[in-house]
Amino acid sequence: MNMVSQLAVEAPPSVSIKGLTKRFGALTALDDVAMEIRPGAFHALLGENGAGKSTLVKCLMGTYRADAGHVLIDGQEASIASPRDAQRLGLGMVYQHFTLVSSMTVAENLVQGEAGLGAIIDWPARRERLTAFMADMPFRLELDRQVSTLSAGEKQKLEILKQLHLGSRFLVLDEPTSVLTPDEADQILGLMHQLTDAGRISVVLISHKLREVEAYADEVTVLRQGRLAGRGQVGSLDRSDMVRMMVGEDQLAASAPRVTHDAGEALLSVRGLSVEDDKGVPAVRDLTLDVRSGEIVGIAGVSGNGQTEFVEVLAGQRAETGGHIEAGGRRYGKTRAEMRALGIKLLPEAPLDNACVRGMSVAENLSLRTYDTEPMARGGIWLNRAEMRKRAAGLIARFHIKTQGPDAAIETLSGGNVQRTVLARELSEKARILIVQNPCFGLDLKAVAEIRRQIVDARNEGTAVLLISEDLDEILELADRILVMSDGRIVYETPRSEADLQEIGHHMAHHEE
């Protein structure tokens, strides 16, 4: 690990944030927040989704302008108006992998944004330096590989390499482990920890995973609803203290009672399914599985291992290249008639983009499955918008959707309420087969508990549920049977009773070796 010696002798800056406030319209995303990061600290920024963590670091990185408050770097007030200013001050942010240019090579991505890059790039000299830089890194990437061919973990590594190469001494890692296997996460966070221990860089780890915070961070700052909820040394806080800081004193809905029963007949069967991604590369390979009535089958896996393409095939959004799907014992052609007859319902990830029409109202979005049936369509042809609104009003009340009313545009709803809207639509009629992907991504804990409860209720009533999630905890909580998907294949299966975190994590990493 002599990369430490490679980094410039310059020490990381001390960063202190004072009274930071940021508003978006009527919403106050950050309210008078203070934070102190001493040089060489491994500092965790903890909070639920929507607590203001991203807003805080985006203000620090110059992506947003704060409405009030200031940032002191080494005691000097700093004005950070753009990411470039932040870079000049040695502040760098590692995104999940949004800042890489996928059509470019590793070398081109590393050189990007380098200070003092001349108008004409002297590639031989640059490559020599990059090769030397890479040689000292514990994880290496070939300089000539195109980024689009890298795995999610490799992209994450490239993001970190890029920041170190740019000379950042203060790194913000934005939920870095959500796209990594547990082993990769430990490897990367371990390396970061060595660097902070050596006093060469400071790290701010944004996370909502307490395990990671306890294992790697020295100090922690907790945000809740845009306000500072607490801070301290990780060593002197226990888990319950941190949870209380994160969620407040509110009681969470208890997890849904699970009826014990034997699973029934197989309602959804996938047989030898193969699918290609947008570039024509195989994403799902020869996948076979069954989901039976009254059970939740959970598919765990690191994102980018074919889950999205698999769900898209089930949703009719992508064509399979081989194999087939059976529903209710017959070949499934993904037509509206079959969906209705078999009660096939779906809650895909990013529901606003995948399952809603932005320009349409909540009522119209709630009617996508039923607009052509009585009473909303007379004779199957003439729309009855009054009925549509009436039915929508009922669903809004039943599923606690927060909206101005049935006529409000779906875009005006918060993420959690969009999720509820889609769930209301999909569960308003009897679902025999329910396919759910990352249902709780980006939601606060209360909404999470509510949505998980709905899923378990459906299972208790005999629905066959296929749950695809990147959140291993979610799978462990909900699934009756756990499958691990890696590189487009199911590589491991275990019943809930015998599930072992280490074993599952190992199989998630399967293809990396």
CB of 312 to another protein, least distance (A): 8
Q: Is 358 in the site for another protein (CB under 8 A)?
A: yes
CA quadruple 111, 86, 168, 49: dihedral sign: negative
In the complex, what is the shortest distance from the CB of residue 394 to another protein, in angstroms, rounded to a whole number? 20
Question: How many angstroms separate the first and last alpha carbons of the chain?
Answer: 21
Provide the CA 435 distance to its chain's centre, in angstroms: 18
Give one word for 111, left, alpha or beta, with left for phi > 0 and alpha for psi -120 to 50.
alpha
Tell me: does residue 383 bind another protein (CB under 8 A). yes
Give phi and psi for 326, each to the nearest 5. Answer: -115, 140
Instruction: Give yes or no for residue 100 binding another protein (CB under 8 A).
Output: yes
With CB under 8 A, what is the number of residues at the site for another protein? 69
Query: Considering the complex, what minimum distance in angstroms separates the CB of residue 494 from another protein?
Result: 31
Rounded to 10°, the helix 445-460/415-427 angle is: 10
Candidate list 112, 151, 274, 303; residue touching another protein; CB under 8 A: 112
Selected from 408, 449, 476, 491, the binder of another protein by CB under 8 A is 408
Minimum CB distance to another protein, residue 111 (Å): 7
Which span sits near another protein by CB under 8 A: 117-125, 188-196, 259-267, 294-302? Answer: 117-125
Q: How many CA atoms lie within 13 A of 24 on its CB side?
A: 9
Nearer to another protein, 6 or 123 (CB): 123
Site for another protein, residues 261 to 290, rule: CB under 8 A: 276, 278-280
Of 113, 51, 57, 54, the closest CA to residue 88 belongs to: 113
In terms of CB distance, is 86 or 267 closer to another protein? 86
Return the number of other C-beta atoms located less than 10 Å from residue 151's C-beta: 17
Interacting residues with another protein between 359 and 378 (CB under 8 A): 359-360, 364, 368-369, 371-372, 377
294: DSSP letter: T
Of the candidate spans 112-120, 171-179, 207-215, 250-258, the one that interacts with another protein by CB under 8 A turns out to be 112-120
* Residues β-bridged to residue 105: 146
- Under the binding rule (CB under 8 A), the answer on residue 356 touching another protein is yes
Count the residues in the chain: 513
- Using the rule CB under 8 A, is 111 a contact of another protein? yes
Calpha distance 318→430 (Å, rounded):
25
- 133 touching another protein, by CB under 8 A: no
Binding piece for another protein, criterion CB under 8 A, among 118-126, 205-213, 243-251, 300-308: 118-126
Residue 489 CA to residue 310 CA, distance in Å, equals 10
One-letter amino acid of 299: I
Closest separation in Å from C-beta 193 to another protein = 25
Does 457 interact with another protein (rule: CB under 8 A)?
Answer: no
Q: Which of 16, 21, 99, 303 binds another protein (CB under 8 A)?
A: 99
User: E strands of 408-480, at which residues?
Assistant: 433-437, 464-469
* E-assigned strand segments in 226-356: 227-233, 266-276, 282-292, 296-300, 322-327, 330-331, 344-347
For another protein, give the closer residue by CB, 75 or 359. Answer: 359
Q: CA-to-CA distance for 122 and 178, rounded, in angstroms?
A: 37
Is-contact 300 472, C-beta < 8 A? yes
CB atoms within 10 A of CB 230: 16
Q: How far is the CB of 410 from another protein (least distance, A)?
A: 10
198 binds another protein (CB under 8 A): no
Q: What would the DSSP string read from start to end of 328-369? A: TTEE----HHHHHHHTEEEE-SSHHHHT--TTSBHHHHHTTT
Assign 486 to helix, strand or coil: strand
Nearer of residues 435 and 484 to another protein, judged by Cβ: 435
Taking CB under 8 A as the criterion, the residue among 32, 36, 67, 108 binding another protein is 108
Q: CA angle 398-404-406, nearest 5°? A: 60
User: Mask: binding to another protein, 306-345, rule CB under 8 A, as x and -?
Assistant: ---------xxx-x--------------xxxxxxx-----
Question: Cα separation of 333 and 344, whole Å?
Answer: 12
Minimum CB separation of residue 46 from another protein in Å reads 23
Q: Is 142 in the site for another protein (CB under 8 A)?
A: no
Binding mask 218-257 for another protein (x = CB under 8 A): ----------------------------------------
Q: Of 8, 9, 115, 120, which lies in the binding site for another protein, with binding defined by CB under 8 A?
A: 120
The answer to the question of residue 506 lying near another protein (CB under 8 A) is no
Which residue, among 297, 275, 252, has the nearest Cα to 447 in the 3D structure?
Answer: 252
User: What phi and psi, each to the nearest 5 degrees, are found at residue 312?
Assistant: -60, -35
What is the closest distance, in whole angstroms, from the C-beta atom of residue 319 to another protein in the complex? 7
* Residue ranges binding another protein (CB under 8 A): 24-27, 62-63, 82-85, 87, 93, 95, 98-104, 108, 111-113, 117-121, 123, 276, 278-280, 315-317, 319, 334-340, 346, 348, 353-360, 364, 368-369, 371-372, 377, 380-383, 404, 408, 412, 414
